[in-house]
Structure 1
Amino acid sequence: MTQLLNQMSFFLVIQHVVRFDLRALFVAAAYFYHEIVVKGQKCTSNAKLHGKTVVVTGSNTGIGKRTAVDLAKRGARVIMACRSRERGERAMEDVKRESGSNNVAFMPLDLASLKSVRNFAESYIKSEQRLDILINNAGLYMEGRTEDGFGLMFGVNHLGHFLLTNLLLQRLKESAPSRVVNVSSVAHNFGHIDFDCLHQHKALGTGNSFRQLMQIYSDSKLCNVLFTHELHKRLQGTGVTCYSLHPGAINSEFDRNMNRVLVLFMKPITSFFFKSPEQGCQTSLHCTLQEALEPLSGRYFSNCTARNVFAKARDDATAKKLWELSESMSGLV
């Protein structure tokens, strides 16, 4: 009996040790993830931007706003292109105050409306003589349709930025060397391009499951990477370069369209495992500012480093077909 009790005690001790070791392993893994992945690399460029003009879409919140603050501090004239006038002008005052620069302006831009995109470009060309950097930062994760009948995520995340970039290309060329920076996502790895779906304007509207919404979001982010790939080919010899990037999982207002209870429940977790907007804007800043980055034009970046992408994200035929279809959908041809 004594021997049996001793054996049981031994196994209980081992069980507690194993449980402790697993907890310790989890804590250690979480710590290193936070230190290496979440904190990540920082943009190390000391570049000054006096005399340069930058457009940042979706810059009233999150990484777009932090990007605007950093570039304004460096002396750039920053145009904050946002859908909501109220939120945009309030954010503009914040950026001025935090950066110490008054050379910051708000211009209305609703990427869910091709008419609004055209109005923005027309106003910009009339009022601004330069465009040195275009940062296509705005993005959303929600269902719905655009003013023109496209799926909302496809319309805002890809098509609106595609049209905006093309309408401002001449000003970018005139200001060369200049850059286009497209904020994509690691989710592009799970995306695919269904040209039949796009032709029929069936880029999911309302009444979709989480899985469907995640798929269409991933598809739109793949469009960003393919757009950058094709844009690079068309810009060779112009002095304009372009880059796409994954900013990291961001703990910001990107979740403002998600269920409030879920957001509150997840907040302590996302605060530890997700990047802050300040951390999340570092790769955008790297692609915007890093010296001698021109040879890497057309590439995809993550954590301030050029990364290889799957074949589907650099397929010449798909990128060209997507470009031509986007031209047709946006009314460029």
Structure 2
Amino acid sequence: MNHQRIMIVTGANSGMGLATTIALAKEGCKVIMVCRSRERGATAYQGALKQSGSSDIELMHGDLGSLESTRTFARAFKAKYSHLDGLINNAGVVAIKRQTTEDGFEVQLGVNHLGHFLLTRLLLDELQRAPQGRVVVVSSGAHKVGSIYWDDPFFTQGYSFWKGYAQSKLANILFTKELARRLQGTRVTVNSLHPGAVGTSLGVNRKTGFGKSILAFLGLFFLTPEEGAQTALYLATSEEVAGISGEYFYKKKIAPVSAKAQDAQQARLLWEWSEQQVGL
């Protein structure tokens, strides 16, 4: 009997997350869509079933901006499934104005890094039970201008959305590098990627719709979500990368990262700090 791969995609209700879900389902994977909004998730779920032609898609609620919700999702997953073949950490937020998660974290670092940090840690046993578990972290070229602002990581003074976003994307790569180091000698790999400039609804204000016209204009120059999802799909499923871990990919090829993203000491410090923040 063939082993059916079980994949989790976070932020699966739109953009690249939805495109990734549909593509994985078409490849015969069982896909768990993790969505924060039950309503938007339900709409996306129906669309994914229809577009993929697969009935092997499941919608589960999980909000990476809440440690409690992230833990609840992980418990619900573990109660149903004994292993996990792929975790695609795709959910991401851009916050033009400073916002915080329910745990008091600045929202970009809170969702883009800390929520995924906790989720990945909670599911490591299931990943290790798969024939070859894979963690795929959607980062960004924005990491190159990023720093970890140790004195004030949550920008309680002088918030800049760009600094916050770049910090969160640098954190994604440092997390990838440190997790890969800790998983050496196991069957689990972890890699990060830059999807390219993808036209998604990341910066659109959900309440007012502010940013939609800008998005429509920029869409002329951007990749579609389907194009943007290609590297994540490649890292989640291709035999070519089965033995590769701790790398950063762009257009399905290993790409260079900033000097800060290669700093092993910063990666360790961030790991320890993250553990304290999420209560591990």
TM-score for both structures, normalised by structure 2 = 0.94
Equivalent residue for 1:204, pick from 155, 159, 165: 155
Say which of 88, 92, 109 aligns to 1:139: 92
1:296 Cα offset (Å):
2.7
Q: Is the 8 A contact 1:141 1:257 kept in 2?
A: no
Superposed, which structure 2 residues align to 1:270-309 within 5 Å?
270-309=218-257
Change (3 A) 1:157 1:205: farther
CA deviation map 1:129-168 (0-9, x unaligned): 2210000000000130011111011100000000000000
Q: Please give the alpha-carbon distance, in whole angstroms, between the structure 2 residues aligned to 1:101 and 1:131.
A: 19
CA contact (8 A) 2:19 2:229 kept: yes
For residue 320 of structure 1, the aligned residue among 265, 268, 274 is 268
- Decide which moves more: 165-174 or 296-305: 296-305
Specify the alignment match of 1:124 in structure 2. 77
2:108 is aligned to 153
Aligned-residue Cα RMSD (Å) equals 1.8
Q: Following the alignment from structure 2 to structure 1, what is the Cα–Cα distance between the partners of residues 211 and 122?
A: 39
Q: Percent identity?
A: 45
- 1:267 pairs, out of 192, 200, 216, with 216
Match of 2:132 in 1: 177
- Tell me which residue corresponds to 2:34: 81
Deviation digits for residues 234-290 of structure 1 (CA, Å, limit 9, x no counterpart) = 01111000110011111122232288565414523x122111111111111111122
Between the aligned partners of 1:206 and 1:256, the Cα distance in structure 2 is 24
Matches within 5 A, 1:243-262: 243-257=191-205, 260=209, 262=211
Q: For structure 1, which runs of at least 5 residues remain unmatched after alignment?
A: 1-48
Q: Assess if the C-alpha contact under 8 Å between 1:145 and 1:205 holds in 2.
A: no
Contact 1:50 1:75 in 2 (8 A): no
| Aligned amino acid, residue 121 of structure 1 | A
* Residue 107 (str. 1) matches residue 60 (str. 2): yes
Instruction: Judge conservation of contact 1:50–1:74 (CA < 8 Å) in 2.
Output: no
Structure 2 counterpart of 1:204, which letter? F
Letter in 2 for 1:281: A
For the residues of structure 1 that align with 2:55 and 2:134, how far apart are their CA atoms?
Answer: 23
Residue 138 to residue 265, structure 1, CA distance change in 2 (3 Å): closer
- Report how many aligned residue pairs link the two structures: 276
Greater helix share, structure number: 1
Q: How far, CA to CA, are the matches of 1:123 and 1:244 in structure 2? A: 26
Cα distance change on mapping 1:229 and 1:111 into 2, 3 Å: same
**Shift, 1:65, TM fit:** 0.2
Please state how far the C-alpha of 1:127 moved relative to its aligned partner: 1.0
Pairing 1:92–2:45 present: yes
Which amino acid in structure 2 is aligned with residue 246 of structure 1?
H
- Give the residue type in structure 2 aligned to 1:74: E
Q: Tell me how far 1:115 sits from its aligned partner.
A: 0.4
Counterpart of 2:144 in structure 1 is 189
The Cα of 1:205 is off from its aligned counterpart by 6.1
Deviation at 1:196, TM superposition (A): 2.3
Q: Could you say what secondary structure the match of 1:93 adopts?
A: helix
Contact 1:66 1:281 in 2 (8 A): yes
